[in-house]
A = this chain, B = another copy of it.
Amino acid sequence: MCTSDDRPSPVRLQAVAALGQPEPTPALEALYRGFERELLVPLWTEIGDLMPMAPRSKAVPHLWRWDRLVALAGEAGRIVPVGRGGERRAIALANPALGGKPYATPTLWAAIQYLLPGEDAPEHRHSQHAFRFVVEGEGVWTVVNGDPVRMSRGDFLPQAGWNWHAHHNAATEPMAWIDGLDIPFSYYTESQFFERGREHIAAHEKTTPERSRSERLWGHPGLRPLSQPGAPAATPLLAYRWVDTDRALADQLALEAEGHAGATLGEGHAAVRFTNPSNGRDVLPTMRTEMHRIRARAATRTRREVGSSVYQVFDGQGRVTVGERQWQVSRGDMFVVPSWVGFSAAADGGSALDLFRFGDAPIFEALHAFREEVDPA
Which B residues are CB-close (under 8 A) to A57?
A: 190
Q: What is the distance, in angstroms, from A163's C-beta to the closest C-beta of chain B?
A: 13
| B222 A275 Cβ-Cβ under 8 A | yes
| B339 A79 Cβ-Cβ under 8 A | no
- Given contacts A190-B339, A244-B223, A213 and B96 within 8 Å (CB-CB): no
Which B residues are CB-close (under 8 A) to A278?
A: 280
- Given contacts A55-B192, A224-B280, A44 and B86 within 8 Å (CB-CB): yes
A375 interfacial by beta-carbon distance below 8 Å = no
Smallest Cβ-Cβ distance to A96: which chain B residue: B39
Which among A18-26, A315-323, A345-353 touches the partner chain? Answer: A18-26
Which B residues are CB-close (under 8 A) to A225?
A: 248, 252, 263, 271-272
| B190 A251 Cβ-Cβ under 8 A | no
In the complex, A252→B79 CA distance in Å? 44
Partner of A244, one of B28, B72, B92, B220: B220
Partner of A93, one of B5, B40, B78, B227: B40
- Given contacts A79-B31, A190-B306, A245 and B220 within 8 Å (CB-CB): yes
| A41 B339 Cβ-Cβ under 8 A | no
| A194 B52 Cβ-Cβ under 8 A | yes
| A286 B367 Cβ-Cβ under 8 A | yes
| Copies of this chain held together in the complex | 4
Partner of A41, one of B11, B62, B94, B220: B94
Which B residues are CB-close (under 8 A) to A7?
A: 96
- Given contacts A255-B216, A265-B227, A191 and B280 within 8 Å (CB-CB): no
- One digit per residue, 1 when the CB lies within 8 angstroms of any chain B CB and 0 when it does not, for chain A 249-289 equals 00110110000101111000001111111111001011000
Beta-carbon contacts under 8 Å, A198-232 to B? 213, 216-227, 231
Partner of A91, one of B43, B64, B79, B245: B43
Q: What is the distance, in angstroms, from A147's C-beta to the closest C-beta of chain B?
A: 9
A101 interfacial by beta-carbon distance below 8 Å = yes
In the complex, A99→B99 CA distance in Å? 15
| B192 A262 Cβ-Cβ under 8 A | no
Which among A133-141, A165-173, A181-189 touches the partner chain? Answer: A181-189
Sample 6 A-B pairs with CB under 8 A, ordered by A number.
A20-B83, A22-B86, A51-B126, A52-B192, A218-B222, A223-B248
The 9 A-B residue pairs with the shortest CB-CB distance in the complex, in nearest-first order: A20-B85, A44-B86, A41-B102, A190-B339, A10-B100, A216-B251, A226-B271, A220-B248, A366-B366
